[in-house]
Amino acid sequence: MQKSLYYGMTFDAYVIYPRSGSLDNINTSNFALRILPKILEETYGYKLYISGRDELPGQGKMKKLK
C-alpha cells in the first residue's frame, strides 16, 4: 500500500527502529539503514520511508507521516 505525503512523495513501507548507543541498536540501525534499502529499494524497486534518513531538517515527524 502506498501513502502520498503532503510534499508529494509516495512510500511503499515505513521503517521505524530504535536509535540509541547500544550494540544491539547499532546492528538494528545497520539493518534499517543499509540492508533493507539495498534489498528492497535497489533490488525490488520499493520506496521506503526510513526514520532518521528521510526527514527534512526542521520538519515535525507527525506532519511528515500525515
- Taking the model in full, what pTM does it have? 0.65
Q: Which residue do the cell numbers 500525515 mark?
A: 66
Cα separation, 64 vs 40, whole angstroms: 21
Domain boundaries of the chain, sorted by first residue: 3-65
Question: Along the 66 residues of the chain, how does pLDDT read in single tens digits?
Answer: 555 554 566 889 999 888 776 667 788 889 999 999 999 999 999 999 988 788 777 766 555 555
Q: Spell out the residues 6+ positions from residue 9 whose beta carbon is closer than 8 angstroms to its own.
A: 47, 49
The pLDDT of residue 57 is 73
Cα separation, 40 vs 57, whole angstroms: 25
The pLDDT of residue 7 is 57
Per DSSP, the residues of 31-63 read: IIIIIHIIIIIIIT---EEETTTSPPTT--HHH
